Structures are given as C-alpha cells and as structure tokens.
Amino acid sequence: MIWSWLASCLISRNFLEGAKEAGFSHFEVIGRDPRVLPMRISKRHDIPYHHFFVYKDYLIQLVIFYLRNDSYFWHGKIDWSQVSQTGSWMTKQWSHDQKLYGNRGEGAYDKMEFAEVKVDNVYFMVPKYPKKFLNQIQHSTFLECNYERAAKFVTRHYDDGDVVGERFRSNAKDILIAGAAVLDELGIPFWLSSGTCLSWFRECRIIGHSLDVDFGMKIEDYSVRLIPAMEMAGLMLVHQFGKRSDSYELSFVKDQLKLDIFFFYEEGNTLWNGGSDTSTGEKYKYIFPWFDLCWTEFIGIKVRVPCQTLSYVEANYGKSWNTKVTSWNWKSSPPNVIPNGQWPKEEWPEVMQVFEIIEVEES
C-alpha cells in the first residue's frame, strides 16, 4: 500500500484518464463538505474525500486534505459502501486496515509547510517537518459538531433578541482563544470540559447564559510554566484550589471573564476532577467514565473534546443534557458528584487561595 495526499484541485479529469490508460483501476469516495455545515445550507454539497488506484496487488491511496479556517488540515472518512459496489474484493482486503487514512474516521492535522524532494527522479511534496506530522497520526481523530441537532436546539430554546448571550459569547470566545493559544504554545494537551464541552456538543457554539469557560487536562501534564505564561498573555490568576496531588484547579480572569482549568486524576477505569468549597473546606469529586481525546472545530479553532462525548456529558449533566437549564448548583446538580472529605483547617491558606485582581486605569 502507498498513500499520499493531494489538494482536490489537482485531481483533474486528465489525471484520472491517464491513470486508467496506465492500467490502474480507480475508486472514489465522496462526502459532505463540512466547511458549509455551520452555514445551514439546505442543499447538500459533496466533495471528494479519497481516491484509490489499484494496480495488480498494489494500492495507492490519495487522501484529500482540506484547509479549514486557514488553521488546520482535515480529511474525511472512508465510506466503503461506495467502493463495494464496484470493488467488493478491495473492501474485504482493506476496509479494516487501520493504516489507511480515514478508516478510523475523520482526521485533523496542524497547518504545515511543505518541501520538495526527489526520489528515483520523481519530485514529491512532503511535510517540511515530517516527524511532527507523523507524530500527529495516532491522535488525529476528528469529530464534527452535530449542526443539525444544534440548530433544532437553538430554534427551540432561544430567540433572535438574545443580546446579552451574544455579548457573552463574544467575550468568551476571546478568552477561550487566548487560553488555548497559551496551552498549545506550551505543548499541554487540554480539552473542552464541563459547560464549554456541553456548549459544543449541544449547540456548536458557546452557551449564552454560561458564566465562564472550562478546560480540562490531566494532572501529569501540568507545567510550572503554565501560570506565568497565562499571566503574560493577560489572563490573571484569580483562584488556586487544591494541590497537585489532590483536586487541583486554577482559574484565570481576562476582561472580567473567568477561565477555569480542571485537572483530572486517573482512578481505575475512571477519571475525576475535584472541587473545593472555600466557605467550609469541603471537597467534592466529579467522576467520569474513561475517555480518549479527539479533535473538533469550535468557534473556528481546532480543539480537543472527549471522543466519548455523550457519556462524558451525561456523567456531568444527566440524560436531560439536551434541555436548557439556567439554575445550577456545582455542589449538588451534577449526577457524578460525590463528597470527598474536607481540607484540614491548617491547610486552607494553601489549598484555597483567592487572589485580588487590581485593574490599573490608563492615564
């Protein structure tokens, strides 16, 4: 098997006819163009996802990579039902090969530069930094937001005059992008958590009546550079709860909007994050079934979400997650919350730190 990728504009009719004349069998997989899904265009617009060229016992896969939002490359999933109609033998032989791009689903990769190389007197374009590209393959799975479901929810629960909600969405987008940029620069993997994950899963946008933006990350990915880097980017530390070994949580503020980072701990086949009540010292544990991370697009940027999003959201919000709720108690409303003891009083100054943000007016 040989794989390559091309921009869709390079797959010309002359190219296909030339391949056929050279003795290749050709199969094409098409699918819906995801770039127009947020526009709610009623007419379906299909684009090519993959081209397969078969010669004797050799398979060449051409993967079509599309640049989305000028920030990342995306490829579609292989729909083998389109191939089986004319190449059933090929489906049996290759449909379970995980090395084929698209067999595991859609994929997303960082935007990259390319360089020209010469192999056997043939010129090829390859990623300028091949190791960086290859390292992304294993964790490239992409989940598209369900825009059809989101549109139904928004139509059912919102009106066009939601001015306050739109203002919050605009501010929340700014802090989300700023926080994501810092963590990406540090190489720290994070995902959309809590209400922000629900925002993506349910509405494909930020919930207008939310109060903050929520990220999750594993405690082993914590870096001592995180807090200084955030503050250099204008996100000031306002809360520091727990400690590295238990219930760690950081909150940052930018333009009066809060970004919460919840740190997750592995425990058997579950993951959990903690919460601390500053008035009583009581601790809480929020338990989630094990999950992997996938890429998605949210407010125009590539971010991670739990691949098993439904079980993640149901753990936090129950079976009624698709119903609008405006009243929420973080200590009792989540179905997955349980008491987790109490901080010793002598540790309170360390494990429940609240910082005052002083805004300096420009003269």
Same domain, 40 and 154: no
Q: Looking at the predicted structure, is the pLDDT value of residue 91 above 90?
A: no
Give φ, ψ of 103 to 5 degrees: -70, -30
pLDDT in tens, 95-124: 777 777 888 899 999 999 999 999 999 888
Same domain, 233 and 274: yes
pLDDT class for 158, splitting at 50, 70, 90?
confident
Same domain, 300 and 342: yes
Q: Looking at the predicted structure, is the pLDDT value of residue 362 above 50?
A: no
Same domain, 228 and 136: no
Residue type, 9: C
Tokens for 291, please give them. Answer: 């999950």
Same domain, 138 and 7: yes
pLDDT at 363: 42
Same domain, 131 and 189: no
Is the residue at 319 inside a domain? yes
Is the residue at 284 inside a domain? yes
Is the residue at 363 inside a domain? no
Last residue of a domain, one of 100, 126, 142: 142
Q: Is the pTM of this model over 0.75?
A: yes
Q: Whole-angstrom Cα distance, residue 22 to residue 44?
A: 34
Tally Cβ neighbours within 10 Å of residue 269: 7
Same domain, 81 and 116: yes
Is the residue at 171 inside a domain? yes
Closest alpha carbon to 181 in 123, 254, 239, 119: 254
Same domain, 217 and 134: no
Full domain range(s) for residue 183 = 147-354
Last residue of a domain, one of 142, 158, 181: 142
Same domain, 155 and 122: no
H-type alpha helices, 119-162: 130-136, 147-157
Is the residue at 360 inside a domain? no
pLDDT in tens, 5-26: 555 455 677 888 888 889 998 8
pLDDT at 1: 44
SS3 state at 237 = strand
Same domain, 154 and 271: yes
Structural domain total, the chain: 2
Is the residue at 51 inside a domain? yes
Closest alpha carbon to 289 in 273, 306, 271, 275: 271
Q: Whole-angstrom Cα distance, residue 232 to residue 234?
A: 5
Closest alpha carbon to 336 in 313, 320, 354, 359: 313
Is the residue at 362 inside a domain? no
Q: What DSSP state is assigned to residue 200?
A: I
Q: Whole-angstrom Cα distance, residue 82 to residue 66?
A: 21
Q: What is the distance between the terminal CA atoms of the chain, rounded to a whole angstrom?
A: 66
Tokens for 46, please give them. Answer: 């299909």
Same domain, 308 and 197: yes
pLDDT in tens, 247-256: 999 999 998 8
Same domain, 333 and 200: yes
Q: Whole-angstrom Cα distance, residue 314 to residue 71?
A: 31
pLDDT class for 154, splitting at 50, 70, 90?
confident
pLDDT in tens, 230-248: 999 999 999 999 999 999 9
Using the Cα atoms of residue 89, residue 95, residue 101 and residue 107 in order, give the sign of their dihedral. positive
